[in-house]
Amino acid sequence: MTEMVYGTVPVRAGEPVLPRWWRTVDKWSLSCVLLLFGIGLLLGLASSPPLAARNGFEPFHYVQRQAVFGGAALLALWMTTMMSPQLVRRLAVLGFALSFVALALLPALGTDFGKGAVRWYSLGFASVQPSEFLKPGFVVVAAWLIAASQDLGGPPGRAWSLGLTILIVAMLAMQPDFGQACLILFSWGVMYFVGGAPIALLVVLAGAVVLAGTVAYNSSEHFARRIDGFLSPDVDPTTQLGYATNAIQEGGFFGVGVGEGQVKWSLPDAHTDFIIAVAAEEYGLVLVLCIIALYATIVVRSLIRLMRERDPFIRLAGTGLACTFGVQALINMGVAVRLLPAKGMTLPFVSYGGSSLIAGGIMVGMLLAFTRTRPQGEIGDILIQRGR
C-alpha cells in the first residue's frame, strides 16, 4: 500500500546480487575510498621505512602490514555495503555491545604501549583499540534510539541516547582519550540536532561541555599539557607538532620531491597521526588538497543522498556516520597544522593502523549501505502528496 501511494524505484526482476549492488551503490564515494587507501600505501612507502629500521624490521614491514589490514578493511566494507539497513542495525548493536564491554575492561586488561593512555589490547602479533570499533556501532544504536523516540508511544530514546553518550564519554576520558570522547559527543550532537532537538537544549549541552573541559584542564595534567602547548605562541621545534609544522612549511605547493622529505626521520608517529605532514612535505599542497577533496566528496555525496531518504533511522544513522568520518579527518589534519590541540587520532584509510583501517571500513560500509538506492519512494514523494 505504501508503494502504491508514494511510488517506487523500479526493481529489475531476477537481477543477480552483484549487478544490483553495483547499480545501487554510490560509486563516487566508493572510488574515493579506494583512492584514499592507495594514497595511504604511497605515503606508507615514504614514512614507515625509518621506523622499521629503528625497530629492526625490513624496510617495508609496516607497508606490508598496512596492505594486509587494508585488504581486510576493504573486504569488511564491501560485505557491509551488501547488507540491508535492518541487518546493518542488528550487527551494529551486537558490535557495539562487544566493543562497549571491551572498553569497560580496558583498565584491567589493556595496555598503553608506553604512551600514557590505556587504549589498546595487546594480542602479541597485533593490537586492538576498542574505541575505533565502538564509534560506528554507537552511531547506529544512538540513531535507532532517537528515531524510535519519534514514534507514537515510542520509548524515551533521546534521553537513553544521551545517558549512553555521557557514559561512553566518561569512560574514554578516564583512559584518557579526549579525542575519541569529543568525536563521540559530536556524532551524537549531530544526530540529536537532525532529529529535531530544540536549540536551547543544545546550547545548554554546549555549556556543559565547556564546563567539563575546564574541570578536565584543572584536574588532568595530560589534558592541560596539550591545551597549553596548543595555546603557546611558540612551537618547540623538537616536538611532534614542531617537526610537522616545519615539514608542511618546507613542502610548499609542490613538495620537496618523492623520498626527499626529512620529517619521517624525526617523527615517531609519521606513519599514523602525522601522515599528512609527510604528504605535505614530499608532495606539497597539491596532494593535501586532493586528500581533502576526496573526504569532502564522500561526506557531501552521502548527505545529499540521505536528504532524499524517507526512513528517519537511516537518515539519522547515515548523517552521524558521514559527519563522524569527515570530522575525524578534519581533526587529524587540523592538529598537524596547529588549528586544534593534539588528539592522537588517525587519518581514515590513510594512516597506518589495523584497528583504524578495519573500523573505518566498517563505518564507511555502513554509510554506503544506508545510501544505496532502494525500491522505495523518497522523502520528496511524501512532501508532494501532502501538498496536494
Q: Kindly tell me if the per-residue pLDDT of 266 is higher than 50.
A: yes
Q: Which of 6, 3, 2, 1 lies closest to 388 in space, CA to CA?
A: 6
User: What does the alpha-carbon distance between residue 222 and residue 353 come to, in Å, rounded to a whole number?
Assistant: 23
For 254, residues 6+ apart whose C-beta sits below 8 A from its C-beta are 283, 284, 285, 286
User: Are the beta carbons of 345 and 332 closer than 8 angstroms?
Assistant: yes
Dmax (CA) for the chain in angstroms is 72
Average pLDDT over residues 360-370: 97
Is residue 83 a part of any domain in this protein? yes
Q: Is the dihedral of CA 102, 104, 108, 114 positive or negative?
A: positive
Is residue 7 a part of any domain in this protein? no
Show the cell assigned to 152. Answer: 507514537
pLDDT digits (tens, 9 = 90+) for 18-29: 888 999 999 999
Helices (H), the chain: 2-6, 17-24, 27-47, 49-54, 61-81, 85-104, 106-109, 130-148, 157-173, 178-194, 199-219, 221-231, 240-251, 275-307, 312-336, 354-370, 379-387
Q: Check: pTM over 0.95? Answer yes or no.
A: no
Residues 277, 281, 284, 285, Cα dihedral to 10°: 30
User: What does the alpha-carbon distance between residue 388 and residue 386 come to, in Å, rounded to a whole number?
Assistant: 5
> What is the full DSSP assignment across 248-273?
HHHHTTT-S-TT--SGGGT-TTTTTT
pLDDT recorded at residue 379: 52
pLDDT recorded at residue 301: 96
pLDDT confidence band for 294 (50 / 70 / 90)? very high
Residue 232 domain boundaries: 16-387
Is residue 10 a part of any domain in this protein? no
Average pLDDT over residues 313-317: 96
pLDDT recorded at residue 7: 38
For 337, residues 6+ apart whose C-beta sits below 8 A from its C-beta are 244, 245, 248
Average pLDDT over residues 282-286: 92
Average pLDDT over residues 224-232: 74
Which bin fits 110, alpha (ψ -120 to 50), beta or left (φ > 0)? beta
3-state secondary structure of 1: coil
Mean pLDDT is highest, among 109-123, 149-163, 346-360, for 346-360
User: Are the beta carbons of 241 and 235 closer than 8 angstroms?
Assistant: yes
Q: How many CA atoms lie within 13 A of 12 on its CB side?
A: 10
3 or 36: whose pLDDT is higher? 36
Peptide bond preceding 176 in cis form (omega within 30 of 0): yes
Distances (CA, A) of 352 to 23, 62, 269: 32, 8, 9
From 45-49, 209-213, 265-269, the region with the lowest mean pLDDT? 265-269
Is residue 1 a part of any domain in this protein? no
Average pLDDT over residues 131-157: 92
pLDDT recorded at residue 236: 65
User: Are the beta carbons of 348 and 371 closer than 8 angstroms?
Assistant: no
From 42-51, 147-156, 204-213, the region with the lowest mean pLDDT? 204-213
Q: How many structural domains is the chain composed of?
A: 1
Is residue 164 a part of any domain in this protein? yes
pLDDT digits (tens, 9 = 90+) for 61-96: 889 999 999 999 999 999 999 999 999 999 999 999
What single-letter DSSP state applies at residue 156? Answer: -
Is residue 79 a part of any domain in this protein? yes
Is residue 365 a part of any domain in this protein? yes
User: What does the alpha-carbon distance between residue 175 and residue 111 come to, in Å, rounded to a whole number?
Assistant: 10
Average pLDDT over residues 278-288: 92
Q: Kindly tell me if the per-residue pLDDT of 5 is higher than 70.
A: no
* Residues found in the chain: 388
Is residue 146 a part of any domain in this protein? yes
186 or 237: whose pLDDT is higher? 186
What single-letter DSSP state applies at residue 153? Answer: T
User: What does the alpha-carbon distance between residue 289 and residue 286 come to, in Å, rounded to a whole number?
Assistant: 5
User: What does the alpha-carbon distance between residue 120 and residue 110 come to, in Å, rounded to a whole number?
Assistant: 5
User: What does the alpha-carbon distance between residue 176 and residue 157 come to, in Å, rounded to a whole number?
Assistant: 28
First to last CA, the chain: 18
Helix axes 130-148, 312-336, angle to 10 degrees: 140
